Structure 1
């Protein structure tokens, strides 16, 4: 019994140090810019200088590709699809401290020492679209460069029906050959996770579905990875970042349709484990391949739940849900 108590004591001490390590990693002032953002945001409005000091412009081999957010002195969070196509960490440059995505005398820059893509990210369905970038040099926070706060809990519905702000340097015309906005833009959005809302029926539980506060704004190419921010108790919190949206046949953004954001509360544990130096493994092979069927007779009807990984793929066209083909579950 004494041995059990001693073991429990060591586990308790170990847990204490792990929790303290996680807390220390994010123990700094966050979410309070020196310049207050406009109290009323008009869609596509140019942001005031240093109003969003955690904004990061991500470049791949000198081409602007995405936005990101500073969440710690050495960590940037963005969408996984922004960095998955270029595994060469030396090809990335990160610019911050400026509202102009082009490098200028006001901006600061950094490089990547490691990129962490969520182990269960699937590009074909844009699932678990989150990545963390460990910077080569720690950022020195200042009036124009600060981190944004992470949510305190994993509750996804905390900002349901609330007004939030998205920022980014994405295209303004939405055309195939359009250019990013040189100035940082901001827009007000409303969380509309109700699946009865047109377009939000494609939302997954780890996405936020939003529409423009005035029904005519949204995100576009180049906004990916940029923050979805909510103001609470005098601070800005990062609740999501741009993942995907609707486009037409000309590859133009449909800003009147909803935009979708990866939910930061859902990934808090993963973010904190990476921040403390751990590298979580994929859950794809966890508890898989177990069935009750042992002997198979050709052509027999299987019992319910004998093959729990089988999937029906149906078309929702005209809401008829006609059966098309089959698939197999390989992860959650």
Structure 2
């Protein structure tokens, strides 16, 4: 297992003013997920821990200084009780979040209107409005959303990260260091066959992505829900999916299933002002839109 841990003292201390929106998808650092490895401090500065009654419950991704995106199923039976939840930003180890982390309450949760509150159904995405704007820093930065030019062919290498269980029923051990795992995109037709439930019961819908390993061993698990599937395009990281569901953790022929941001970006854009987009465009001078 490769462990590349940077002491926090090596991180640049440059402060990014909270009222300015820094470039999305660009960690400012100096240059458990099943089968994963420790991430580096501030490697994924948009990942947040969504706490329920003070304990880690799900993950999410920071889009702007007021909005987080996550999985709708994280709020099943609690969507009208935002006071149960808070968001921890800028943490690397949950047990030692550090002085530069920020914890903020949730004002309200907006699940996708087409989500049906059943496990493994389409539109498993929710937007979380924070109680107040957060301050950006090298540990707290937004991630980009993919624009309409982005395509994810099979075998594209992307990454997931989270603080979830390291195996079914085995929580991430203390100090609960953020885990990361490289996962290749799986062809959607292959995934549909793996999760085939019979005629008229398609499990993999058009707004889902599959990623991972057909042999199992490495996967997202309980507690990783809502966290990002991240793909690097040029020098920016794009949020291409949200950890949604799967059968078991790291089971053979049961790869992870993700809610596709390629499918749901228009809905997010309608609601979240200031979300930044990036894409794979021919002219590098025109890779920004918002």
Q: TM-score, normalised on structure 2? A: 0.76
Aligned match of 1:129 in 104, 124, 132?
A: 124
CA–CA distance in structure 2, aligned partners of residues 276 and 36 of structure 1: 30
Relative to 1, partners in 2 of residues 1:85 and 1:102: Cα closer, same or farther, differing over 3 Å?
Answer: farther
Q: Which of 239, 245, 250 is matched with 1:254 structurally? A: 250
In structure 1, C-alpha distance between the alignment counterparts of 2:264 and 2:76, rounded to whole Å: 18
Q: Are 2:30 and 1:29 equivalent residues in the alignment?
A: no
Separation of aligned partners in 2, 1:66 and 1:266: 22
Change (3 A) 1:164 1:213: farther
Higher helix share: 1
Larger radius of gyration: 1
Equivalent residue of 2:271, what SS? helix
- Which of these residues, 132, 136, 139, is aligned with residue 134 of structure 2? 139
Quote the residue 2:262 is aligned against: 265
Of 94, 98, 106, 1:101 maps to 94
For 1:35 and 1:95, the matched residues in 2 are separated by 19
RMSD: 2.5
| Alignment partners' CA distance in 2, 1:81 and 1:146 | 25
Q: Using the TM superposition, give the Cα deviation of residue 205 of structure 1 relative to its aligned residue in structure 2, in angstroms.
A: 1.0
The change in CA–CA distance for 1:159 and 1:78 in structure 2 (over 3 A counts) is farther
**1:33 positional shift:** 0.5
Q: 1:273 to 1:103 in 2, by over 3 A?
A: farther
Distance 1:159 1:49, change over 3 A: farther
SS in 2 for 1:121: coil
Find the partner of 2:146 among 144, 151, 158.
Answer: 151
CA distance in 2 between counterparts of 1:192 and 1:81 reads 23
Preserved CA contact (<8 Å) 2:152 2:185: no
Q: Does 1:67 align with 2:59?
A: yes
- Structure 1 residues 58 and 260, CA gap change in structure 2 (3 angstroms): same
Aligned residue for 2:217, secondary structure, equals coil
The answer for unaligned runs of 5 or more in structure 2 is: 1-19, 197-202, 275-290
Shift of 1:238: 0.3
- 1:194: how far off? 3.8
Match of residue 319 from structure 1? none
User: Any conservation in 2 of the 1:188–1:213 contact (CA below 8 Å)?
Assistant: no
Give the corresponding residue for 1:315.
none
Q: How many residues align?
A: 241
TM-score (norm 1): 0.67
Structure 2 residue corresponding to 1:80, chosen from 48, 72, 84: 72
Cα deviations by residue, 1:93-128 (Å, 9 ceiling, x for unpaired): 110112112363332111111211111101225221
Structure 1 residue runs of 5 or longer lacking an equivalent are: 1-25, 248-252, 278-332
1:170, 1:180 within 8 Å by CA — same for their partners in 2?
A: yes
The yes-or-no answer on 1:48 pairing with 2:26 is no
Secondary structure at the residue paired with 1:173? coil
Give the Cα–Cα distance (whole angstroms) in 1 for the partners of residues 229 and 74 of structure 2. 16
8 A Cα contact 2:122 2:208, kept in partner? no
Could you say if the C-alpha distance between residues 33 and 159 of structure 1 is closer, same or farther in structure 2, counting changes exceeding 3 Å? farther
SS at match of 1:148: coil
Q: Which residue of 1 aligns with 2:14?
A: none
1:20-56, CA deviations, whole angstroms, 9 ceiling, x for partnerless residues?
xxxxxx964111102268xxxx941100000000010
Offset of residue 204 of structure 1: 1.5
CA contact (8 A) 2:60 2:226 kept: yes
